[in-house]
Amino acid sequence: MGRALLGAVAESADFEIAAALVRSGSEAATLPIADVSFVTRPPADALVDAVVDFSGPRGFDSALGIALERGVALVSGSTGLTAAQHAALQSASRSIPVLWAANFSPGIAVLGHLVAEAARLLPDWDCEILEAHHRLKLDAPSGTALMLGDRVNQARGTVAGKPLVERSGLRDVGQVGYSVIRGGDIVGEHDVRLIGFGERIELAHRATNRNLFARGALVAARWMSGRPAGSYTMADVLGLGTH
Ligand SMILES: NC(=O)c1ccc[n+]([C@@H]2O[C@H](COP(=O)([O-])OP(=O)(O)OC[C@H]3O[C@@H](n4cnc5c(N)ncnc54)[C@H](OP(=O)(O)O)[C@@H]3O)[C@@H](O)[C@H]2O)c1
């Protein structure tokens, strides 16, 4: 995603890389990318409007720390964060603008709305979420699958229990079930099935190119830059009305 982000910045007229951040000792620092030098900290004189993070749970604390130090917006797409990291993000939103999204695709934001509406209208139907990603993805189920499950629970006013990932035994009433596929270079596939008796509804999204997430993160960064402190969502950025 770091590379996709550098590519998206190169294609855009109104963004400049203030610092391309890597972990100390990272092989990524040796990537031959024109006009980009990699650093572990932004130089003191770098002008920063926003920190964009796709480093996952290992790099998230450092990205948040830099945004807080600089007093600028944090836009993070890191998934698999711990509860403590999510809490740190919420607490940071009292002093800087923060936006965390499990998925920066506009299509997924709209899918979330469709899923919430369908779940609200069909409160008794079972919900199963299937997701497929490339073989190197570390967390499972994906942050996007969990976000879609949260939309179902919020729409129905149910308290989310433990996500049903292991498939032995019966589900609790209303519990959202998850299935995970990992392989090859799958960019991201999400299927939400609402299953009744004698019928079902299937809502699906396919991402075919990672650049779409990078472009979405830049749209968010542009919108976030200079906002007051607070916690924002892609629904805010895209003007979808609700979270
Ligand atoms: N929200 C979205 O739309 C969206 C879309 C796609 C992916 N994601 C999420 O974004 C994250 C990255 O995905 P990916 O596929 O690009 O994973 P990846 O290939 O594992 O890349 C993560 C990168 O973060 C770097 N990193 C780790 N610690 C760091 C630190 N302290 N400072 C700076 N960089 C650090 C790693 O560097 P080293 O290689 O040197 O360890 C690695 O290059 C995952 O959590 C993924 O689920 C989100």
Please give the structure tokens belonging to residue 161.
Answer: 């229990």
Q: Which pLDDT band holds residue 210 (cuts at 50, 70, 90)?
A: very high
Q: Of 131, 80, 87, which is closest to residue 108 (Cα–Cα)?
A: 131
Residue with the larger pLDDT of the pair 241 and 21: 21
Q: What is the CATH number of the domain that holds 216?
A: 3.40.50.720
Going by alpha carbons, the residue nearest to atom 29 of ligand 1 is: 59
Q: What pLDDT shows up at residue 60?
A: 98
Going by alpha carbons, the residue nearest to atom 24 of ligand 1 is: 55
Whole-number Å distance, alpha carbon 175 to ligand 1 midpoint, is 30
Q: Which pLDDT band holds residue 243 (cuts at 50, 70, 90)?
A: very low
Same domain, 86 and 125: no
Same domain, 10 and 67: yes
Average pLDDT on 95-103 reads 96
Same domain, 88 and 118: no
Please give the structure tokens belonging to residue 49.
Answer: 């409007």
Q: Model's pTM, two decimal places?
A: 0.88
Q: Is the pLDDT confidence value at 212 over 90? A: yes
Q: What is the CATH number of the domain that holds 172?
A: 3.30.360.10
Same domain, 124 and 56: no
CA dist 118 and 202 (Å) reads 10
The verdict on the CB of residue 60 being under 6 Å from ligand 1 is no
Q: Is the pLDDT confidence value at 61 over 90? A: yes
Please give the structure tokens belonging to residue 42.
Answer: 């932004």
Q: Which domain holds residue 128?
A: 106-207
Q: Is the pLDDT confidence value at 200 over 70? A: yes
The verdict on the CB of residue 77 being under 6 Å from ligand 1 is yes
Same domain, 196 and 217: no
pLDDT, tens only, 135-165: 999 999 999 999 999 999 999 998 777 778 8
Q: What pLDDT shows up at residue 159?
A: 78
The verdict on the CB of residue 85 being under 6 Å from ligand 1 is no
Mean pLDDT of the residues in the chain: 93
Tokens 């990078």: give the residue: 214
* Domain total of the chain: 2
Assess whether the previous peptide bond of 43 is cis (omega < 30° from 0).
Answer: no
Going by alpha carbons, the residue nearest to atom 32 of ligand 1 is: 23
Catalytic site positions: 133, 137
Q: Is the pLDDT confidence value at 118 over 70? A: yes
Same domain, 93 and 110: no
Average pLDDT on 102-120 reads 94
Is residue 243 situated within a structural domain? no
Same domain, 83 and 173: no
Closest ligand 1 atom to residue 25 Cα is 40
Q: What pLDDT shows up at residue 242?
A: 57
The verdict on the CB of residue 58 being under 6 Å from ligand 1 is yes
Phi, psi dihedrals of residue 201, rounded to the nearest 5°: -115, 135
Whole-number Å distance, alpha carbon 56 to ligand 1 midpoint, is 5
Report CA-CA distances (Å) from 57 to 85, 139, 149: 8, 10, 21
- Tell me what percent of the residues of the chain surpass a pLDDT of 90: 84
